[in-house]
Structure 1
Amino acid sequence: RKALTCLFLIALLIFVIAFLLGYVTLRETCGSCLEMSHDFESGMVDDPYESVMQTTGRVLYWAELKEMLQKYLSMEEIESTIKRISRKPHPPGSQVMETLALEVRDKFSQFKLDHTWTDSHYVTLQFPDRTNPNRLQFVDRQGQPQENILLEDPDIFCPYSANGSVTGGLVYANYGRKQDFETLRKQGVKTEANLVIVRVGEISFAEKVSNAETFGAAGVLIYPDPADIPQDPRGLGLPGNTALYGHVHFASGDPFTPGFPSFNHTQFPAIQSSGLPKIPAHPISANAATKLLSQLNGPKAPERWNGRLPYLGYRLGANFSNPNVQVKLDVYNKMAPTMIHNVFGSIDGQQEPDQYVIIGAQRDSLGPGAAQSGVGTAILLELAHVFSNMVQNATGFEPRRSILFISWDAGEFGSVGATEWLEGYMTMLHLKAIAYFSLDKAVLGDDRFYAQTSPLLVALIEKIIQQVDNPKGSSQSIYDFVKILNSRWEEEIDLSPPCEGPSFLPLTLARERERALIRFCFFSQDARMYPFLNTQLDTYENLNEILHGRLQDVAKTIAMVVGQMVIRLTHDHLLPLDYSRYSEVLLQYIARLNKYASQLKARGLTLQWIYSARGDYHRAAEKLKTAISNSDEKDDALIRIYYYSFIHAEFCFLSQYVSATEYPFRHILHGHGDHTLHALLDYLALLDTDPARFDEVFFRRQLALLTWTLQGSANALSGDVWNIDNNF
């Protein structure tokens, strides 16, 4: 009997051990990218290298995929491409640019991508008129010229400036932000019918000019102040006689086809973008700014407005020390129909080929453009080569979703190529594009990681930068280095993209989509900007020297970060996106709105409905998150339903109550106009600053439309109408 008992216990022990071994083995090789997706919902496993990824062939571990990416990346090829592209300026429509477009397409073909094609069409761009150059002068009260102010480089201009001749006094308006103009108004300094001079930085050229026009200015001069951009004639600083170019169209795309594509043979209606300025604008150098500002009279500028121009006490104007003197600006740029070429390559997904993860980079530059477009184009080509090798060389890597590589044209003029393509295929891309990664201006320094992104990608970025080494070779991950600089690493992530710049803007603002721009720049407070961006000095030699010869290393780091994120988004069964993040962003807005609750209550108004809409969004996001975590990871039909809930919820963040032609930036969080949450906050501020201007009827309408836009997104996340419990 004892022997039977022992045999039974031994058999039971063997069964338990076999069961545990089988469980562990299956758990380690479950073959599901969903396992990694769950890591983003409940925290990544302690050792992410043990997570696995499954193809239709053998099991691939996450560590293997990272090793493949590292193996195929060529730093030398990236550097060689940057050198080649940035030898000379390559503006849209030039022979140099056409040759470069052919080179990119040939490269895509050599990489044996599944599809390669070019999208070519005419757009309206603006260039200087060499027969009638722009001028800046001191004139007397009768308009007679007194002295020319040198505009050193005739090729430096503000694309899409209004043409014309304007004369008046000069007002110093700091960065040209709305609050700067409000400060001038409070101090009694008149901007109406005068020119304003503003510093580069804080906001885009386009927003500076738009604000100046709103406050009645006759024209705008934009200069680089040494306080913002290093200007050291003995070292790697911007020379005092160098101006920066930048477009002033307060939107994106061809301004003469707003909201619809510039496809060939389209019969365009007589319409132009509301973002085109009606006043002339021109960039000037620090030397020219010193000449102007040194002769200004009027009140002293606020101390925080003082820059570092030499031998200068900053005054506001509008008069000069000689009361008989005014300033005159003549702008004579000309519009020209220009053929542009967007170049595409793609790798087909194996299970969901109709879902795209897109990587894009601007290819054109008005200057040599090493940082402007050279680095991004080089990384784009190298990532296309790497992913092609991973697919073709029997590594076992088979992306579930398609990868699209795009080289954009006419980015210098406000993402014209990207916007026109988007407008041509908007309805299709709304359903198919998952995420967009911009490589524009990817390397501007080497010691500060910076990302502009959707809230949905923050968790993914956090996990990836924990696994990529910092380019300074300090044996730290990027994440560890960022945490040293700022314990709250999320503060290094910008969730509010500017109104101009990277080519992800049109994809974000015309219809919401996950997007990210990954960049390294300088952390030093004495050198906050790469000094040669948007100048004729943006060369490979200057960029590499300012990086102390580490351009290869930094560019490779960017490629590793973007490459790993693309692997996760194309290979995981479930997309590693956290839709509850938007709830946190909305809560921050609600907290700011709540400061005005008592003042609104005194007027018989309430914010209750927008609070309720945010609450509905939060509950819907959490409910969907729970449903996904409890669902069968192999149920493709169910996963597809969840995905369509996501994209409809995103689309609903675009205001449906404003025209795309009048308001190109319709996103209620990242757009511009009365339909945005930011505009609502600005209007509520009148309760403190100027209560008499507060219009209750306008506010009620603004609040109602915003509330229903937000409620629409919450409803989209909730799913079918019978799952929505709302009282209209």
Structure 2
Amino acid sequence: MDQARTTISKIFNGEPQSYTRFSLTQNMEGGDSQVEMKLSPEADEEVGTNGVGEHLNHQREYYKKKPARSPRDICFLIAATLLIFIIGYLIGYLVHRKQDKTMLECDQTQAAAVSAIDDDDLTLTGDSAPKQLDWSDVRTMLADRLTVSQIDASLSEFARNDHQAGSPGDEVLANKVLKRFKDNNMDTWVDEHSVQLQLPPASGSNTVEFRGQSVGSLQGYLAYSGNGTAQGPVVYAHYGQKEDFDDLKDLTTNLTGRIILVRAGKISFAEKVANAASMDASGVLIYPDPADYALGDATHLFGHVHLGTGDPYTTGFPSFQHTQFPPTRSSGLPSILAQTITASMAKTIMRSMGGRNAPRVWARGELSGVQYKLGDDNDIVSMGVNNVLVETNIHNVFGVIKGVQDEDRYVVIGAQRDAWGPGFAKSTVGTTLLVELARSISNMVREGRFMPRRSVVFASWSAGEYGSVGATEWLEGYLTSLNMKAYTYISLDGVVTGSGSFQASGSPLLSDLLTETLKEVKSVGDAGKTIYSQATAASGKTSLLEPLQLTDPVYPFITFSGIPSVSFQLNGKQTYPYLNTLLDTRDKLNAATSGNLAQLIRAAGQVAGHMALRLVHDHLLKMGVETYSQVVNKYVIDIMDKVNDLKRSSMLPRTVTTDWLTSARGSFGRSARELRRVIRESNLEDVEQCRKINDRIMRVEANLLSPYVSPTTQPFRHILLGTGSHTLTALVEQLDAFKSLGTGDVEALKTKLALTTWTIQTCANALAGDVWELDNDV
């Protein structure tokens, strides 16, 4: 080899009669270097001392003539050349083989439509849109992974007796949820909020006395009650609904300064207290009547009386620790006192009450030995409330499975984690189902068989018992991005409280998807039936969405953030009575579900899972825009009839018209029908086309939020499902007030009509698409 090297050196450093010149020219376009070979027949010019010519641009170079090489040198030259050739051939072969292998693997990957998966965060990669599985295959995969045994194990893991919001027990559960998300290789994060929660008295308890005697020791309480003392004659007001107070007014019962005694049920605690406050009452006592709740006489109730959601001391603002909170206070906070009492305590009061008999319907209670009366001036009740406002840190925990195509669009599945006591049906079931759905879907993705087009976010909320505080603070903190990117929220709160029946509430946009889903999931304990057939047979209704209530966990998502949302519940024919008590335990829920608890939770998981997976599986979002057309039509026709009736009665001038409102309704309907035509005639395999259509669908809910009111004063801005003077419900009530009073503020009515009209019209314009698609004839 040394001899060969010497010979090669002589070749390159020598001065032959004819030479080989290697010119290494860099390819500035990024290619490989090129080798140029030139032969010269003679040498006319000497070179420099280094043996390399100084002319670089393909000029001839000349060297002095030397004697001819010996045969031995020639043999070594041939051997060296052959060696170089063999080495070069082997290198070229290996490179070519590697390229062929890479191309083969790429072709196989495309044929199988499987993108690479990053095991650290379940982020799917791949430039082209993946070929999706059939929907039936996706359903089967979820059913195989969402098992009863896993659900049972998680129920035991997440059951606690002490997980009130912000407590050490709540933090333990938060860490467990976070660990489960991480174990599933999901991207995770935690939001901490500093919120004001009202707790029971730090020492002693709240008090209630009837005719100077204590009715007993109070354990339950109502958060966000007014504090202080109140005294006055007690008045029985049935359930404390508006119509109940209207009936009392008709009976000429004076309610100013009175203590109102009402039954739990029908409406929320907060609404009962707000209705009493509107009648100038000084306090409210709420008890569970045995006719409504099979609880026993000594069961205490817990709840809150904030007529709203979120931290009532940072309305419209997120309660992050770094936020400079303005000195605001929710208008939904009551100024009067509120307290729960047991059925036994209510019996003590009502047995001795005088006054006239209550209306017959009101008297259908089951307090033993009680004749239901309205009360008189001698029935004096004194109450004292000394709840404590405490700044508390709460944590919301999140995990995400990212989509392969529209990663920045996501469905959110959430459940509250906290409870007053055991809260088994209220929170443990939902938290269990949350982590089990996260495990099942992440397994489907990690195995490479399911590739969601869009992302799925799993959220564990805290302070749900105080009025969806954790969820609302998250919405307030990220409002501007959420109503552009979060296209659906599915709540798992209280999804199982019994068997044999079903109820749901939420956005009309999701009504069709819910119906399709319920037709796919088998009922538990009723062979051959689906949940849909079982539910419609029991209710006699084809549409299963009930009116949205303020206490619904999806209420702030729809009415504050404009995110289409749905909550649902598998329940029994009898109401599960243990919510908001310390008796909400696993044993109680097992009894209410006839021992089928885990099977019912699995069925509820299939309902939530099918809806979420359908929304991330299909090119096109399954949302029915035309269902909102029906809602708008119903309201507008009602308003039009009432206005025309008032004009005929000369209670409204002829200048008040509903023509423009009717026109806006027509625009909304036409836009919805046009979108349906576009969908019908579009290539639904065209990713970009579907994304444009999906963006139009996603904006419907958000565009029904009134832009003419502030979220700090009217947070629930949805004109169809929200609360406040901007809603169509308020407009109908104002017209009813005109009729009952014979007069009203005409200019305020005209303004409300105009703002309502333009909110509907702008929603129709956005639904129609790009501005050049609009045609508003003048």
Q: Pick the TM interval, shorter chain.
A: 0.7 to 0.9
- Kept in 2: contact 1:87–1:539 (CA 8 A): no
**Residue 623 (structure 1) aligned with residue 659 (structure 2):** no
User: Hey, what does 2:593 align to over in structure 1?
Assistant: 547
Q: CA 1:57–1:645 in structure 2 vs 1: closer, same or farther (change >3 Å)?
A: closer
User: Hey, what does 2:741 align to over in structure 1?
Assistant: 690
Q: In structure 1, what is the Cα distance between the partners aligned to 2:707 and 2:132?
A: 45
Map 1:402-413 → 2, pairs under 5 A: 402-413=455-466
User: Hey, what does 1:135 align to over in structure 2?
Assistant: 207
List alignment gaps of at least 5 residues for structure 1: 1-29, 33-54, 140-145, 232-237
1:606-653, Cα deviation, whole Å (9 max, x unpaired) = 333222211110111111111122122233333232223223332221
Q: CA 1:727–1:271 in structure 2 vs 1: closer, same or farther (change >3 Å)?
A: farther
Report SS of the residue matched to 1:489.
Answer: coil
The Cα of 1:719 is off from its aligned counterpart by 2.3
- Kept in 2: contact 1:455–1:581 (CA 8 A): yes
List alignment gaps of at least 5 residues for structure 2: 1-110, 114-127
Map 1:449-464 → 2, pairs under 5 A: 449-464=502-517
Q: In structure 1, what is the Cα distance between the partners aligned to 2:252 and 2:132?
A: 71
Q: Aligned match of 2:545 in 489, 493, 496?
A: 493
Report SS of the residue matched to 1:169.
Answer: strand
Q: CA 1:296–1:591 in structure 2 vs 1: closer, same or farther (change >3 Å)?
A: farther
Map 1:649-688 → 2, pairs under 5 A: 649-688=700-739
Q: CA 1:112–1:473 in structure 2 vs 1: closer, same or farther (change >3 Å)?
A: farther
User: Hey, what does 2:190 align to over in structure 1?
Assistant: 118
Q: In structure 2, what is the Cα distance between the partners aligned to 1:725 and 1:217?
A: 54
- Kept in 1: contact 2:207–2:218 (CA 8 A): no
The Cα of 1:193 is off from its aligned counterpart by 0.8
User: Hey, what does 1:92 align to over in structure 2?
Assistant: 165
User: Hey, what does 1:340 align to over in structure 2?
Assistant: 394
Identical-residue share of aligned pairs (%): 41
Report SS of the residue matched to 1:310.
Answer: coil
- Kept in 1: contact 2:509–2:628 (CA 8 A): yes
Q: Aligned match of 2:499 in 442, 446, 452?
A: 446
User: Hey, what does 2:45 align to over in structure 1?
Assistant: none
Report SS of the residue matched to 1:704.
Answer: helix
**Residue 363 (structure 1) aligned with residue 421 (structure 2):** no
Q: Aligned match of 1:217 in 272, 281, 294?
A: 281
User: Hey, what does 2:699 align to over in structure 1?
Assistant: 648
The Cα of 1:239 is off from its aligned counterpart by 1.4
Q: In structure 2, what is the Cα distance between the partners aligned to 1:723 and 1:517?
A: 35
User: Which amino acid letter does the alignment assign opposite residue 332 of structure 2?
Assistant: G
Q: Aligned match of 1:291 in 348, 354, 357?
A: 348
**Residue 575 (structure 1) aligned with residue 641 (structure 2):** no
Q: In structure 2, what is the Cα distance between the partners aligned to 1:157 and 1:537?
A: 15
The Cα of 1:674 is off from its aligned counterpart by 1.0
User: Which amino acid letter does the alignment assign opposite residue 153 of structure 2?
Assistant: S
1:104-161, Cα deviation, whole Å (9 max, x unpaired) = 1011111112x0111112111110113141000124xxxxxx20011442xx211111
**Residue 559 (structure 1) aligned with residue 605 (structure 2):** yes
Q: Aligned match of 2:313 in 256, 259, 264?
A: 256
| 177-186 or 585-594: bigger deviation | 585-594
- Kept in 2: contact 1:83–1:540 (CA 8 A): no
User: Which amino acid letter does the alignment assign opposite residue 440 of structure 1?
Assistant: D
Q: CA 1:707–1:151 in structure 2 vs 1: closer, same or farther (change >3 Å)?
A: farther
Report SS of the residue matched to 1:198.
Answer: strand
Map 1:87-236 → 2, pairs under 5 A: 87-113=160-186, 115-139=187-211, 146-153=212-219, 156-229=220-293, 231=294
1:320-351, Cα deviation, whole Å (9 max, x unpaired) = xxx2x410110000111111010000000000
Report SS of the residue matched to 1:290.
Answer: helix
**Residue 715 (structure 1) aligned with residue 769 (structure 2):** no
1:471-500, Cα deviation, whole Å (9 max, x unpaired) = 12322111111232234321x321x32112
- Kept in 2: contact 1:121–1:263 (CA 8 A): yes
User: Hey, what does 1:427 align to over in structure 2?
Assistant: 480
Report SS of the residue matched to 2:381.
Answer: strand
**Residue 400 (structure 1) aligned with residue 453 (structure 2):** yes
1:411-446, Cα deviation, whole Å (9 max, x unpaired) = 011111111111111111111101000000111111
| 289-298 or 359-368: bigger deviation | 289-298
- Kept in 1: contact 2:500–2:570 (CA 8 A): yes
User: Which amino acid letter does the alignment assign opposite residue 542 of structure 1?
Assistant: K
User: Runs (4+) of structure 1 moved beyond 6 Å?
Assistant: none
Map 1:4-153 → 2, pairs under 5 A: 60-113=133-186, 115-139=187-211, 146-153=212-219
The Cα of 1:195 is off from its aligned counterpart by 1.2
Q: CA 1:313–1:78 in structure 2 vs 1: closer, same or farther (change >3 Å)?
A: same
User: Which amino acid letter does the alignment assign opposite residue 476 of structure 1?
Assistant: K
User: Which amino acid letter does the alignment assign opposite residue 264 of structure 1?
Assistant: Q
Larger radius of gyration: 2
- Kept in 2: contact 1:89–1:369 (CA 8 A): no
Report SS of the residue matched to 2:284.
Answer: strand
| 624-633 or 156-165: bigger deviation | 624-633
Normalised by the size of structure 2, how large is the TM-score? 0.81
User: Which amino acid letter does the alignment assign opposite residue 444 of structure 1?
Assistant: T
The Cα of 1:58 is off from its aligned counterpart by 6.0
Report SS of the residue matched to 1:267.
Answer: coil
1:199-229, Cα deviation, whole Å (9 max, x unpaired) = 1111111111111111211111111112222
Q: In structure 1, what is the Cα distance between the partners aligned to 2:311 and 2:376?
A: 35
User: Which amino acid letter does the alignment assign opposite residue 765 of structure 2?
Assistant: N
Structure number with higher relative contact order (C-alpha < 8 Å, ≥ 6 residues apart): 1
Q: In structure 1, what is the Cα distance between the partners aligned to 2:619 and 2:664?
A: 31
**How many residue pairs were aligned?**
648
Q: Aligned match of 1:304 in 347, 358, 361?
A: 361
Q: In structure 1, what is the Cα distance between the partners aligned to 2:464 and 2:192?
A: 14
- Kept in 1: contact 2:643–2:735 (CA 8 A): no
Q: In structure 1, what is the Cα distance between the partners aligned to 2:637 and 2:217?
A: 48
Q: In structure 1, what is the Cα distance between the partners aligned to 2:350 and 2:774?
A: 61
Q: In structure 2, what is the Cα distance between the partners aligned to 1:253 and 1:557?
A: 31
User: Hey, what does 2:42 align to over in structure 1?
Assistant: none
Report SS of the residue matched to 2:249.
Answer: helix
Q: Aligned match of 1:317 in 371, 375, 396?
A: 375
1:38-60, Cα deviation, whole Å (9 max, x unpaired) = xxxxxxxxxxxxxxxxx966652
The Cα of 1:703 is off from its aligned counterpart by 1.9
User: Which amino acid letter does the alignment assign opposite residue 224 of structure 2?
Assistant: Y
User: Hey, what does 1:15 align to over in structure 2?
Assistant: none
User: Which amino acid letter does the alignment assign opposite residue 628 of structure 2?
Assistant: Y
- Kept in 2: contact 1:358–1:433 (CA 8 A): yes
Report SS of the residue matched to 2:303.
Answer: coil
User: Which amino acid letter does the alignment assign opposite residue 297 of structure 1?
Assistant: G
User: Hey, what does 1:246 align to over in structure 2?
Assistant: 303
Q: In structure 1, what is the Cα distance between the partners aligned to 2:618 and 2:112?
A: 10
- Kept in 1: contact 2:425–2:497 (CA 8 A): yes
- Kept in 1: contact 2:475–2:561 (CA 8 A): no
The Cα of 1:568 is off from its aligned counterpart by 0.6
Report SS of the residue matched to 2:460.
Answer: strand
